[in-house]
A and B are shown apart, each in its own frame.
Chain A
Amino acid sequence: MSARKIGVYVCQCGGNIGDYVDVDRVVEAIAKEPGVEVARTAMFTCSDSTQQEIITDAQERGLDGLVVASCSPKLHTYTFRDVARRAGMNPFQYTQVNVREQCSWTHTDDHAGATEKALRLVRAGVNRTRLTDPLESIVVETTPKSLVVGGGIAGLRAALGLAEVGLSVFLVEKKERLGGWVSGFKEMYPHGRNGGELVAGLESAVRAHPGITVFTNAELIAKSGSFGNYQATLAVQGEQLETIQVDVGSIVVTTGFDTYQPDEGEFGFGQDGVVTIAEFKQMVEAADGPLKYKGRPVKTLAYVYCVGSRQPEYEEGANTYCSRYCCNAGAHAALQVEALPGKVHQYHFYRDMRTYGTFELLYSEALEKGSAYIKYPDQEPPVIERDQASGRVTVTARDLLSEGEEFELEVDLVVLMTGMVPRENEGLTKALKLPVGQSGFFNEIHPKLRPVETVVDGVYIAGCCQAPRNLSESVQSGLAAVTQSAAILKRGTAELDPLVATVDLDVCEWCGACQDTCPYDAISLDQHAGKEVAVIAKTACKGCGGCVPVCPANAIDLQGYTDAQIRSMIDGMLGVSCA
């Protein structure tokens, strides 16, 4: 059993680990464990040079197991599996031990304790590795087709992008018409283009492309199958409701956002003379002369920013995030108003003017053209009141730029710069098992490493369903999802982890408990040697292990995390070597 030859590499991660954990001590102790052929420290184990060192060690010493003690497996599992592969080892005989997030960072005040814990964690990893079997990835052929859910600007562009790289596309839009929000916009910043025309051009390209099938009045209601080969069920409302099943390799979700709907009375909302930016945009764009509100001329105008955004976190259900677009939109709206005949005095009540990047030019121009900016304190938002008798609307606020002086401004119209909120989409969220973040938008796995990927393999998110974005940014993320789809589907095959549950058919006495617990519909009833047994579809199984403990006969084991391995890891943590 201890004929195994395991290489152990303990990372300093610059100082992230090394400053708190005595890695030399860990290595010294672990080197004595049975089966450990070589144990070393490294400044950055993930660096190319250490990767090379591991490969050299493996080849010179014939390693058949690898333990890397560094950061969370979320970061580098694939990195070191690849190292193992290049070194001629089986990638599944490698164990990642997390001594950073779960050790050094958590115990910065206790170096001795952190070192002891690291040693135990690494020993557990060595014990697990000793019991690993060489596993092979499950290779599946992928379907070179994609489903795009949501026909707004991001979805349209993504559909076209997918088709242009040679993938077949199904585009599903819940509404009757394609185009989403943008189709309703006229002049858009920063290039002054007409949203409706942009959508129209894109829609005709999408409809003309032979590789794209468009379903409007349609929704995704169910998804089955596994990574690379999903079956999506669409409910299409035609003359009658019909369901259609399509086979796709990836799904791109671009379901967009909703605008924040203020509560009655919030910033004076609901009263005459108070409108949202969405309503105001339509007013300005419909104006064929001086700006009017309900037939009354608008001479003085107040914009109030951060309505529904950057709400204090102590408020129940607060939108703590910044909606990103509103500052730019406010400056742009002010410029549109300036372009109308007649002078309008425009006052902007803001907290931070976030006209990032080139949008600063909009802000500068608005300032130049006479817009006044009043910075109100985070904790004291402006108060908007309407005198019911006179119909006068006043904004009362403190201006931090004038030594915090409080003043009252009588205005003809208040525009609430309402932010973006996640769209209610419970059905889709459930059907795709999409992860939802704290702010209610769909969550990517990692904003930098895997920015359009979700925890559901092959299901990608883009546009404003992920986070507030402007037009170009939404399109960018839509195209990034195209890229991610193509990177998976153009190859024709995909590899799945073999870390799946297996049933010992001789032991299984079908009771159905495992099937009930499986969240991925991977377990079904089958016949074996004249009895009913459970079988697990390995391409559908995600290796969550949920079925293992519920089996009364203990017939299920999880590859890579067998009961024996788990027990050995516990022993390792308790200080026992399992040679």
Chain B
Amino acid sequence: MKYDALVVGSGIGGMESALKLGDMGYKVLVVEKESSVGGRMILLSKVFPTLDCASCISTPKMGATIHHPNIDVLTYSQVESIRSDGNGGYHARVRQNPKYIDEAACTGCRLCEMACNVAVPDEFNADMVSRRAAYIAFPQAVPKKAVIDRAGVSPCSYECPAGIKAHGYVARVRSGQCDEAFELVLESTPLVGSLGRACYAPCQDECTRGELEGALPIRQLKRFIADRRYGKDAPSNPQLPEWNGSKVAVVGSGPAGLTAAWQLARKGYGVKIFEAAPQPGGMLRLGIPAYRLPNQVIDDDIANLTAIGVAIETGTKIGDPSRLLEDGWNAVLLATGTHRPVRLRVLGEDKQGVTTALEFLRAVKLGEPVEMEGKKVLVVGGGNVAIDAARTARRLGAASVDQVSLESCDEMPAHDFEVEEAKAEGITLHDGWGIDHFDGGERVQTAGLKRCTCVFDPDGCFAPEYDEKMRKTLECDLVIVAAGMGADTEAFALQTNPNRTLKVDSATLQTARPEIFAAGDAVTGPSMITQAVGQGRRAAFMIDRFLEGAALDSAGFEDNLPRVDKLEVLRRQDVYDRREPLESHAVMNAAPVDFAETETTLTEAEALEATSRCLDCGVCSECHACVDACPADAVDLAMRPEEIEVDTASVVLATGFKLFPADAKPEYGYGKYANVITGMQMDRLLAPTRPFNSVLRPGDGKVPDNIAYIMCTGSRDDTVDNPLCSRICCMYSVKHNQLVMGALPLADVTVHYMDVRAVGKGYDEFYQQAKDMGAMFIKGRVAKITEKEDGNLIVRYEDVEGDGGVVEAEYDMVVLAVGVQPNLEVAGLFEDGALALDDYFYVGEADEDLDPGRTNLPGVFVAGAASGVKDIPDSILHAGAAVAQAAAHVERHKAMAEPKAKVTV
């Protein structure tokens, strides 16, 4: 794109520059980093000295800027770099940030905003109230289009191997939308109940609140929403997707198979699951004990699938999958898991009374008879399956349960809480021991143990070393070996890996036979449920693309934004309430006798309390409430930034200023004392779009009747490295005085000032008017503010104009007339040091006397407060000066370009 002028920033200086250049007939591009043009002025109440409503002055300019035939505007965009094109012009790279809203479709109706479940401080109201993650910046925004604020993917959601929007359902629960939360999980997997109980919740390990008081119980919240849903009488009428004409066979009904079948069925495929076991569910059904995952929950989860037409054929073991293709299935997914136990390979392993955890747990879960009463049980293994077996044996009445683990307690692969719970249930752990042999007659009677000194070699491979001299013997009637599981894939006649898992393309999950895909533990080896779910989702995505004839790339699958930086999130929590985590819900019994669940469901109060602790790390929670709410289908979370290259003959920098951060003057207590606010906050309190529709103090909502202004906060002050006068603070305070006295006729207003600098046309008269209305002015810098218990503030100052001495005055609200700082971002737009700044880091003017607005770079101009603090009228005049010279530059540029063009012809 080619322009005559690039205007960076659309505050009053930027708009004025663009409009005038546009009126002259030049093509102008305006780049604004916020979602609306207007800059800071539109946020003000009224403006001095005319007391015009800021909106009334700004909105027509904003509208004119957007609608001007010669002006293009990129909002929510940032200029990334500007460099000379070598011909007197400039080349700029602009990044257009995604609004996640189709601007053409958005009508500005704000339904997304109403629906959004995330509230964050509203920077357009000086952080005094909240806005939503989906929002329109302010009521007079131009363009009036929503944006969705996404800082990245929240760590919990990002970490979920199943791709579940953890933050999203937490946010939904927070708003009491439990059914919607359930539906959100369903977008990933039907196994809501199972995951709510048996998932090891990597999300919680990454929860940013974990860095503070403790992580949110994200898994238990999922259980909460599942239990609420399944507890209802009839499941809501599922919409049966229309059959798209293709059929997919899924072999195996574990987490991977069920998830893939669910995803494919929702896309309209005819799906049938073939399961070898007598009941569906795979490891959920056969491997996880009922005290962790009751069968009813698995049934409920599976009912989600059958309700949308997925057929499940149990007791059918599939051999060669190509037979299924011959039978008319268009594609086959193998998700048969790892149901082959790994042997210990020690002496005596074949004796009676030695079994495997897989066989044992499966028999118990399927209700087959298991003789356990009074037996001395020895469980071999240090993983979660071993713990499951040990705790199951305990529940079946074993006289004692001993568990032998090669790894020491710290290194055991089982989760710490599992180990703790096992110990609490009376299981004796022998950690750091290996099995040497089993003894006895036909039946096992003892196990010979030897000390394990090291489990893994330096490369991390399993290579146990033993101290052969340290030995002990344990008596046992029953040995349950949990030494691992392997895939059972021989019958498939497909290529396998050395460990017998199926060989697939890791991205597409396709086997060498294109119509046959494989997923889950059969591919990865033993993993967590969520990983298998993730594999199932991926397989379904790829099978769909394969059957649609599309290329099998991952574009569109898990196209996540980057994970949000947790430190960044913690930095945002300047002032957060301490919120304690929930107490553990596990009910431990030293001698458990049944398979009742050890954990109970959260109560609604607990769930709401828990969700209120969420820090909304990614800002947008991806809960999809906006997607559901938008009548124009304008929400598009797949949008990504776009880089735009621009050629321009001139550049006008109208990047404005920053306000002094009031907490950098700690003696004034901003951020600590609720009723100390900044001038900008007071402007918002007074604005026509004011947040509380009244002037009140933030601490307790009381209408103040005695307000103090502290001038020169952050200005004329070497202690904060700013010796300059900020020029606008006197006048905006005098303006506030008049507006406050109008809004609160009984309120007293006192200004603690150094000099009242009313230097513009009509300004001194405006100041006199405030005095005439009753504003009090006290000369002298305020030394310190302290807070009283009732929220009132004690202002300490030296009474230089009166009787001298230190005086303490009490006010119920204090407004800090904060000054101005340079916007340092502007220097970064140019190559190192190319743009000269002045001594105070404002954009430098090469000849302020005769060419105000001209920088050191030919063709680059500065308009308004970016060159040093200016009030609105002066910013507008300054912009006019910059524009006159920019136009002259463009004319010269054109004149230079023309003869050159002739030469090349």
Identify the A interface with B (CB < 8 A). 13-16, 43-44, 46-49, 51-52, 71, 75-76, 78-79, 82, 86, 157, 161, 164-166, 188, 190-191, 193, 198, 201-202, 310, 313, 320-322, 324, 352-361, 364, 375, 400-401, 403-404, 439, 441, 446-449, 451-452, 466-468, 471-473, 475-484, 486-488, 490-491
Contact = CB atoms under 8 A, between A and B. Distances in A.
Given A13-B53, A44-B55, A483-B884, 12 more contacts: A14-B690, A47-B139, A48-B62, A75-B60, A191-B848, A193-B849, A354-B759, A400-B800, A439-B761, A476-B877, A480-B879, A483-B20
B765 A320 contact: yes
B73 to A, nearest CB: 12
Given A191-B849, A321-B761, A357-B724, A48 B59 contact: yes
Given A16-B688, A44-B55, A79-B63, A322 B723 contact: no
A157 B891 CA distance: 17
B874 A484 contact: no
Contact of B877 (A201, A313, A354, A451): A451
A487 B23 contact: yes
Interface in B91-143: 108, 139-143
Contacts of B20: 483-484, 486-487
A357 B722 CA distance: 11
Nearest to B716: A360
B764 A322 contact: yes
Interface string B454-478: 0000000000000000000000000
B731 to A, nearest CB: 10
A472 B24 contact: no
B442 interface: no
Contacts of A490: 23-25, 887
A188 B53 CA distance: 38
**Of B779, B802, B887, most A-chain CB atoms within 10 Å:** B887
Contact of A47 (B24, B144, B884): B144
Nearest to B892: A164
Contact of A479 (B49, B57, B66, B881): B881
Contacts of A466: 761
Contacts of A480: 876-877, 879-881, 883-884
A487 B24 contact: yes
B759 to A, nearest CB: 4
Contact of B59 (A47, A78, A161, A441): A47
Contacts of B142: 47-48
A361 B869 CA distance: 14
Contact of A491 (B25, B52, B689, B892): B25
Contact of B765 (A75, A164, A190, A321): A321
A313 B873 contact: no
A16 B53 CA distance: 9
A448 B876 contact: yes
Contacts of B756: 352
A475 B53 CA distance: 29
Contacts of B24: 165, 483, 486-487, 490-491
B20 to A, nearest CB: 5
Contacts of A76: 56, 60
A486 B884 contact: yes
B709 to A, nearest CB: 15
Nearest to A11: B56
Given A321-B761, A357-B727, A401-B800, A165 B60 contact: no
Nearest to B142: A48
B693 interface: yes
Contact of A320 (B764, B779, B802): B764
B688 to A, nearest CB: 2
Given A48-B59, A48-B63, A352-B757, A357 B869 contact: yes
Contacts of B841: none
B840 A358 contact: yes
Q: Which of B20, B144, B881: most chain A CB closer than 10 A?
A: B881
Given A165-B884, A475-B849, A15 B693 contact: yes
B759 A322 contact: yes
A466 to B, nearest CB: 7
A466 B693 CA distance: 38
Most buried by B among A86, A161, A313, A486: A486
A14 B755 CA distance: 34
Which of B60, B723, B756, B801 lies at the interface centre, i.e. has the most chain A CB atoms within 10 A of its CB?
B60
- Give 10 nearest A-B pairs by CB, closest first: A14-B688, A480-B880, A164-B888, A487-B23, A479-B881, A467-B761, A49-B144, A322-B764, A360-B725, A479-B884
25 contacts: A14-B687, A46-B140, A48-B141, A49-B108, A51-B63, A164-B884, A164-B891, A191-B848, A310-B764, A352-B758, A354-B755, A354-B758, A355-B725, A356-B759, A360-B716, A360-B724, A361-B724, A375-B779, A446-B50, A448-B57, A452-B880, A467-B761, A479-B885, A480-B884, A491-B25
A375 to B, nearest CB: 7
B779 A479 contact: no
A314 B765 CA distance: 13
The size class of the interface chain B forms with chain A is: 35 or more
Nearest to B894: A166
A392 to B, nearest CB: 30
A359 B725 contact: yes
Contacts of A447: 49-50, 761-762, 873
B868 interface: yes
Contacts of A360: 716, 723-725
Contacts of A52: 108, 144
A479 B886 CA distance: 11
B755 A472 contact: no
A49 B140 CA distance: 8
Interface in B802-842: 802-804, 840
Given A48-B59, A48-B63, A472-B852, A483 B880 contact: yes
A234 to B, nearest CB: 24
Contacts of B759: 322, 324, 354, 356
Contacts of B763: 322
Nearest to A18: B688
Contacts of B905: none
Nearest to A80: B60
Contact of B140 (A16, A47, A375): A47
A476 B881 contact: yes
A151 B760 CA distance: 24
A484 B16 CA distance: 11
Nearest to A44: B140
Interface in B712-737: 716, 723-727
A346 to B, nearest CB: 18
Contact of A356 (B23, B757, B850): B757
Nearest to A310: B764
Name, among B56, B67, B885, the residue most crowded by chain A CB atoms within 10 Å (CB to CB).
B56
Contacts of B449: none
B887 A476 contact: no
Interface in B650-697: 687-690, 693
B853 interface: yes
Given A47-B142, A48-B142, A75-B56, A358 B873 contact: no
Contact of A354 (B52, B693, B757): B757
Contacts of A322: 758-759, 763-764
B629 interface: no
B537 interface: no
Contacts of B872: 448
A477 B880 contact: yes
A114 to B, nearest CB: 16
Contact of B56 (A71, A451, A479, A481): A71
B768 interface: yes
A201 B232 CA distance: 88
Contacts of A352: 755-758
Nearest to B780: A401
Contacts of B800: 400-401
A239 B410 CA distance: 109
Nearest to A323: B759
